[in-house]
Every structure is written in C-alpha cells, then in structure tokens.
Amino acid sequence: MRADRLLQQYVAIRRLSERLCAPLAVEDYVVQAMPDASPAKWHLAHVSWFFETFVLAHRPGYLPLDARYATLFNSYYNAVGPQFSRPARGHLSRPTVDEVYAYRAHVDKAMLALLERGGERVAALAPVIELGLHHEQQHQELLVTDLKFNLSANPLRPAYGAPTAGGPAPPPLARVAVAGGPVDIGHDGDAFAFDNERPRHRVLLRAYGLGSRAVTSAEYREFIDDGGYERPELWLSDGWRTVQERGWRAPLYWERAEDDWHVYTLSGLAPVVADAPVAHVSYYEADAYARWRGARLPTEQEWEHAAGAESAPGTLLDDCPREPAPAPAPGLAQMTGDVWEWTASAYLPYPGFRPLEGALGEYNGKFMVNQMVLRGGSCATPRPHIRRTYRNFFSPEARWQFSGIRLAFDE
Ligand SMILES: [Fe+2]
C-alpha cells in the first residue's frame, strides 16, 4: 500500500479506537469481569504495543516510553517475550488511563514521523504496518464486546450509549437454493488478508440451501418455549454438559423480568427486540437450535460460496457501536454485519497454509485447535475490516461476541 494511503488509514483507525472510548468514565476502563473480557485500557495499550514491537523497535533511535510495557501489553507472543497474566489484566490500576493515552501518543508520534518520511523503509515495513491496522480494527470489536460484558456485570446496568432505532419487521425466513459443484475458497490477490484466509483452494460442494437471513430472537424464543434447553436429544454431548454446568436457559444477557424476556444491551436493560437477530449464543446453542428446526449450520465453505451472491448488508460498526437490527429486505440478507454466524467448520489450516514468518506467525496458526469458525462480521465489526473470506474463530462455548445463527439445509 502507498505510504500516503497508509498514513491516512493509520490516523483514521487510531482515532476510531479513542472515539469508541469517549463515552467511558475513567472507572469503566479498568474492569475485567471475566478472563476473556479485557479492560478497555488494556486494548488501547496493546494495539500500541503491537506497532512498537513489530515496527518501531527495529527503528534506529526509537526509545520506548516505558520498557516494562513490553511485558504488560504483550498478549500471547512467546517469541517476543514473557506476558503479564491474561486473567489479571483488570489488576492493572497503573499505568493510569492518562498514562495509557500518553503511551498511544508516544507511539503515534514515532509512527507518523516514519509514515510521513515515506520512501523505501516504509515500503518495506508496509505489510507489517497494514497488519497492525487490521489488528487494531480487530481489537476495536473486542473493545466493544468486552466492554459490553464488563458493564453488564454491574447491577446498575450502565448504558454505553443511547439506543438505536429498530427497523420494520423482517421478511419471513426463506430457503435460498445454492448450486453445488467445484468452488474456489479463500483469499487471492494482493489486497490485505490474514494468513489464515490463504491459500485459495478448490473444494467440492453438494447443492444446499441457506437461510435468507439470520435467525431472530422471536424464532429463538420458540426454541426456548418448546423446552429446547431441557431436551438432551437436541444437543451435542459437550453442549449438553455445558448447559447443565452453567445453568443456561437462554442466550447470554437474557433475563426474565415482569414475566417477559429482557436483555442487557449497550443501551442498558431493555425488552428483547423480537425481530432482530438473536445474538450472544454459543456454537452449542446454534447447533441445537438448527437441529430443533430440522436444519443444520452451514460449513464455512458453503457460507463463503453463498456470500458471493448479492446480499442486503446488515449493521456494522461505523462510528458508534449498535445492536443487531432486523433484516432489511427479502432475499439473501445480513451475510455481512449484525451477527457473526457460527459455521459447522472447525478452525483448521487451509491446505498449503503457511503462517507469517517470525513472531507474527503466532497471530493465527497456533489457535487452530478446539475452535469453530464464524463468518460475516457483526454490528461491532468496523466496516472496512470485514470481507467474504474472513475467518473468525472462537471456542464453542463462547457467548460474549455478537454471535448468531444462520441455518443451512440439505437439498
Ligand atoms: Fe492482539
């Protein structure tokens, strides 16, 4: 990518991270209500650490603001060095929020000086800088989803922002028929993609059907009302055990109030929006729901192939986080945005997969076990970040992302 374009993107993406935190009180930055939900302050520092470690540390004359941050804000890169305990990130009352913003400014100053100089040095570093920008966009989504979880743990149910307006009722769920045959899967070409999206390769698909939109909360409620959480025949063994151990009876954030379901949202506790996609379900719940409907989840190859067709877009993260919204139109909709869609595919390397060289090889490849692939992005995904070949992945019991359900059918 050209240096001037890179500079422009650097400024815009770094600004968005800070804008997302604008509604926060200083106390909100520090909470970590579970090991997976990092404090906002940690995200802001870690994405800066990424640029410092993989770009600036190799520049002559660069001096870190505080050498101890190298360990504090290293997430999981063993080749770089030791890491501070992930579940204990909420113990970091220091550096303070102001000091974390000063760290960001320190990194920005050096990065902007580098990018403004341009030339061959920037050209050589451009792929890593671009990766750093996509990394920061990933963390923008995590910042929002972690923040939602962390705020939800407070019985006062604080709101991040004002509610967004709902839309008209979505069209009925239809089956979209997709022809099978040999199809190409994975990213090709020069545009940015993560290493896990390559290489492009051919797979053989049988003809299949795909739900025209994401499953709504009203539809999911029928599963609850039909005793879905009490019927072991609907569940995978691990899923049934998880339901028992954790006492699940509804998606994360749902709770019974005044004889109806309410849900914690970024705008506080509110009645469940029946027409909006159900969100915050685990893979196990998505799988059980699909079985109950006489359907199944799509494989990631089926999902990606179908996503090549025209599809009405869903809600993405533009300037401010929102909640998933009803599908806008008949036909294939919401393949992008609103909720990440669980697929039936385990997160595995594509045939011929080669991780990035060096420490950055730890970015994706080492997580290719015990996780399922999700596709399509959510209302918390920055719009320029998502693409058809994008592979997200989480453990099957994870529920704190905006994860939802798209049905698939055998034809
Ligand atoms: Fe990261």
20-46 pLDDT, tens per residue?
Answer: 999 999 999 999 999 999 999 999 999
**Ligand 1 centroid distance, CA of 86 (Å):** 12
Torsion of CA 291, 295, 301, 302, to 10 degrees: -170
> From the CA of 74, how far away is ligand 1's center (Å)?
8
- Give the pLDDT of residue 319: 66
Number of residues that make up the chain: 411
Kindly give the distance from the C-alpha atom of residue 50 to the centroid of ligand 1, in angstroms, as a whole number.
7
Distance 66 CA to ligand 1 centre (A): 19
> Rounded to the nearest whole angstrom, what is the distance from the C-alpha of residue 137 to the centroid of ligand 1?
10
Is-contact 74 53, C-beta < 8 A? yes
**Phi-psi sector, 376: left (phi>0), alpha (psi -120 to 50), beta:** left
Other C-beta atoms within 10 Å of 180: how many? Answer: 13
C-alpha 194 to ligand 1 mean position (Å): 13
Is the pLDDT at 320 greater than 90? The verdict is no
Q: What is the tens place of the pLDDT at every residue in 179-223? A: 999 999 999 999 999 999 999 999 999 999 999 999 999 999 999
Between the alpha carbon of residue 280 and those of residues 2, 224, 333, the distances in Å are 39, 15, 19
How much of the chain exceeds pLDDT 90, in percent?
Answer: 90
Helix (H) or strand (E) holding 340: strand 340-346
Cα of 266 from ligand 1 centre, angstroms: 23
C-alpha 46 to ligand 1 mean position (Å) = 7
Residue 319 burial (CB < 10 Å; 0-12/13-18/19+)?
Answer: exposed
CA of 363 to the centre of ligand 1 (A): 8
Distance 47 CA to ligand 1 centre (A): 6
Q: Which two tokens stand for residue 1?
A: 């990518």
**What is the rounded average pLDDT of the residues 133-140?**
98
CA of 321 to the centre of ligand 1 (A): 20
The reported pTM is: 0.97
Q: Tell me: the pLDDT tens digits for 346-364? A: 999 999 999 999 999 999 9
Residue 21: per-residue pLDDT = 97
Measured in Å, residue 300 CA sits from the centre of ligand 1 at 24
Structure-model confidence comparison of residues 259 and 265, the more confident one: 265
Percent of the chain predicted with pLDDT > 70: 100
Buried b (16+ CB within 10 A) or exposed e, 200-216: eeebebeebbbbbbbbb
Separation of CA 385 and ligand 1 centre (Å): 15
Distance of CA 19 to the CA centre of its chain: 18
Place of tokens 């994706």: 364
